Amino acid sequence: MHKPILIIGACGQIGTELTFELRNKYGAENVIASDIREGSNALMQSGPFELLDATNYAAIEDVVMHYEIDEVYLMAAMLSATAEKFPMRAWNLNMNSLFNVLNLAKEKKISKVFWPSSIAVFGPNTPKKDTPQSTIMEPSTVYGISKQSGERWCEYYHKKYGVDVRSVRYPGLISWKTMPGGGTTDYAVEIYHEALNKGTYECFLNGDTELPMMYMDDAIRATISLMDSPTEKIKVRSSYNLGGMSFTPKDMAKSIEKHIPGFKVSYVPDFRQEIADSWPSSIDDAAAREQWGWEPRFNLDQTTNEMLKNLKE
């Protein structure tokens, strides 16, 4: 039987689906969901839940001791677009929550940690196409700075204290169960809702902005597969590049038009354009493929099929 797992930030876009999948795999009682707020009815009814502030070390420690938690997935964070509005709150949340979990592992109160990084660790001076695993990283956003620092700390805790921490740099994630939480790639979810509800969409990025993206099922599979991999296969302890697909808002509009003829998108870039312009357009994920067998399954048209089918139901 798998030892108990705690998910912190379980009510968000990724946490919700991660909770469902881990509960399917290991049993509902073995996966404790937690967040600073309650989540969807489906999530709240699917198993144990604790209200928990990720910045409160003592509170996390209590939950870890109470449920004899072995692994923590830390999904609480402030995302890229919101973090630009509240820089200090973003820094405090993104860094202190990570230190809390890394320190619990350092003290051997838990044995494994998953912490997500992001393509936001890269910056305007990074090679944009097929961005390598190791390259220039000069993030220009608060969020990117926090993720870059987080990566360095994860590697440090692994080397100095033997902490088993694992991480991927998620691209923009597309899902239908939960709305996105204030990122620069949120358009790629909103567009499907508006296509079905209104037949039009006003996009906050310009139509030619190519970004790395991934369907949520692939992201969840990557996360669990990395956590299940034998320790000796995990050579990267900062964070792995993770590729899915790359496309522009115009590509996405075309993909949707195949299902909804006459679907119209207008482009009115806002402050998020500058963030998007500083990020890669595609990702080289050879290290993840070679070391723990990563392979994406969903392309843009398959994602569109899944999104429209599920949102219609």
Ligand X SMILES: NC(=O)c1ccc[n+]([C@@H]2O[C@H](COP(=O)([O-])OP(=O)(O)OC[C@H]3O[C@@H](n4cnc5c(N)ncnc54)[C@H](O)[C@@H]3O)[C@@H](O)[C@H]2O)c1
Q: Which is nearer to ligand X, 175 or 304 (CB)?
A: 175
Position 148 contacts ligand X (CB under 6 A): no
Interface pick for ligand X out of 7, 11, 110, 154 (rule CB under 6 A): 11
Burial of 162 (0-12, 13-18, 19+ CB in 10 A): exposed
CA atoms within 13 A on the CB side of 292: 24
Site string for ligand X, 13-52 (x = CB under 6 A): xxx-------------------xxx--------------x
Q: How many CB atoms lie within 10 A of CB 206?
A: 15
First-to-final CA distance of the chain? 35
Name the token pair of 215.
Answer: 């369907």
Residue showing tokens 């995302």: 79
Position 243 contacts ligand X (CB under 6 A): no
Determine the residue type at 241. N
Please state the closest distance from residue 150 (CB atom) to ligand X, in A: 9
Interface pick for ligand X out of 5, 6, 7, 8 (rule CB under 6 A): 8
Interface pick for ligand X out of 64, 79, 104, 163 (rule CB under 6 A): 79
Please state the closest distance from residue 53 (CB atom) to ligand X, in A: 5
Q: At what angle do helices 249-257 and 300-312 cross, to 10 degrees?
A: 60
From 143, 157, 201, 240, the catalytic residue: 143
Interface pick for ligand X out of 21, 53, 194, 274 (rule CB under 6 A): 53
Closest CA to 177 of 224, 213, 216, 222: 216
Residues in touch with ligand X (CB under 6 A): 8-9, 11-15, 35-37, 52-55, 75-77, 79, 93, 116, 118, 170, 172-173, 180-183, 185
| Residues involved in catalysis | 143
